[in-house]
Amino acid sequence: MTILVTGGAGFIGSNFVLDWLSHAVTRDEPVVNLDALTYAGNLQNLASLQGDARHTFVKGDIGDRQLLDALLAQHRPRAVVHFAAESHVDRSIHGPGAFMKTNVEGTFTLLEAVRGHWSALDDVAKAAFRFHHVSTDEVYGSLAPDAPAFTETHTYEPNSPYSASKAASDHLVRAWHHTYGLPVVTTNCSNNYGPYHFPEKLIPLMIVNALAGKPLPIYGDGQQVRDWLYVSDHCSGIRAVLAGGRLGETYNIGGWNEKTNKEIVLTVCALLDELRPSAQGPYSRLITYVTDRPGHDRRYAIDARKIESELGWRPAETFETGIRKTVQWYLSNADWVANVQSGGYRDWLNTNYKTR
């Protein structure tokens, strides 16, 4: 038994691979990890698996059909867990093409390759096979302040090129189940945070900038709301759905933890004040309000009752425990932080922040 993970060198994918290979129930099942190593992929995240025969890393693109066919024939996975994607909303605004290529076309190519593999299995293996599509709450659009949280039946109303590309991929996965019978499950998760989060996203960017004494750029009025989930809780949610989710169903995963961006930044600053005080005074002095993100969704919130009632999943971390662990991880992993701040990273900061 083997699983094939796509995008397993990125933030959530690498946490998932590490979690899978350390969890009592799954740790004996090897992982084949296919990742193109874009700017967001980082083999350092998987350094603890070096020499571990349970982990096979393959550098490659989900859009490469020949490679997919060869990997599926060689490893005969009993499940595919699909993380690989372009994932940053701001990058999708500056350059949507890569999002269409990977998130839409790449998912299509992967589905076709997996369908070919699955169709040739015997009936028992066919019934046991799973294609798990990892998606986002952003496909549902933006909520009014007092509106109920997103359920799985909420209308799709994606607003950014990123969320539109993920919505398209969700629809493809759904169609491959309904038309071809491919045994799929989809999870739509809220904002993750934790170790190995690339510092283009809000929480790690704020930690890294604060430690460097740089401005902490809050878009617009900072009153946008996100529902934050510690990444290991996302991993346990995916394991639960992969093991027990009903075929063709979608499950929302969230932290029951709505916070404004301003609250998030102030919490990060307060933790840094406690754990790494600055001689220049409180880190909140660095907060700078900058031009808003175009089309910025105001509020996301996940109703996670379905996964709880059907599969007994609930997050293990509170925001207080998760954010403390996260800040401590960044303080203890200065080498990782230094290594991801390459020339490409600095170019991105220029592109996104210089004219704000």
**In the complex, what is the shortest distance from the CB of residue 223 to ligand DAU, in angstroms, rounded to a whole number?**
9
Query: In what side-by-side order are the strands of the sheet with 191-193?
Result: 191-193, 225-230, 258-260
35 contributes a contact to ligand NAD by CB under 6 A? yes
SS3 178: helix
Least spacing, CB of residue 273 vs ligand NAD, in Å: 26
- Catalytic annotation, pick one of 35, 138, 233, 258: 138
* Residue span binding ligand DAU (CB under 6 A) among the ranges 75-83, 86-94, 169-177, 304-312: 86-94
Tokens of 220: 């617009």
Residue 199 touching ligand NAD (CB under 6 A) = no
- Could you tell me which stretch among 7-15, 217-225, 275-283, 337-345 binds ligand NAD (CB under 6 A)? 7-15
DSSP for 36-86, written as a single string:
---TT--GGGGGGGTT-TTEEEEE--TT-HHHHHHHHHHH--SEEEE--S-
Eight-class DSSP state of 297: -
Angle in degrees, 0-180, between the axes of helices 261-275 and 202-211, rounded to the nearest 10: 40
Whose Cβ is closer to ligand DAU: residue 99's or residue 118's?
99
Query: Does the footprint of ligand DAU cover residue 217 (CB under 6 A)?
Result: yes
218 binds, among ligand DAU, ligand NAD, none (CB under 5 to 8 A by kind): ligand DAU
Catalytic residue check, 29 = no
Closest CA to 56 of 70, 131, 127, 25: 70
Considering only residues 156 through 185, tell me which ones interact with ligand DAU, judged by CB under 6 A: none
233 binds ligand NAD (CB under 6 A): no
Interaxial angle between packed helices 65-75 and 107-119, expressed in degrees from 0 to 180 and rounded to the nearest 10: 40
Judge whether 162 counts as a catalytic residue.
yes
Task: Kindly state the helix (H) or strand (E) to which residue 329 belongs, with its residue range.
Answer: helix 319-332
**Minimal CB distance residue for ligand NAD:** 10
**Which residue type is seen at 47?**
A
Q: With CA atoms as reference, report the closest residue to 202 among 150, 274, 259.
A: 259
Please say which residue, 67 or 331, places its beta carbon nearer to ligand NAD.
67
Give the residue, chosen from 19, 138, 258, 317, that forms a contact with ligand DAU under the rule CB under 6 A. Answer: 138
Options 226, 234, 259, 306; binder of ligand DAU; rule CB under 6 A = 226
Phi, psi of 217 (to 5 degrees): -80, 110
* Token digits of residue 340: 């991801």
52 is catalytic: no
Task: State the residues that interact with ligand NAD by CB under 6 A.
Answer: 6-7, 9-13, 35-38, 40-41, 61-63, 83-87, 102, 106, 134-136, 166, 189, 191-192, 198
Q: Which are the catalytic amino acids?
A: 137-138, 162
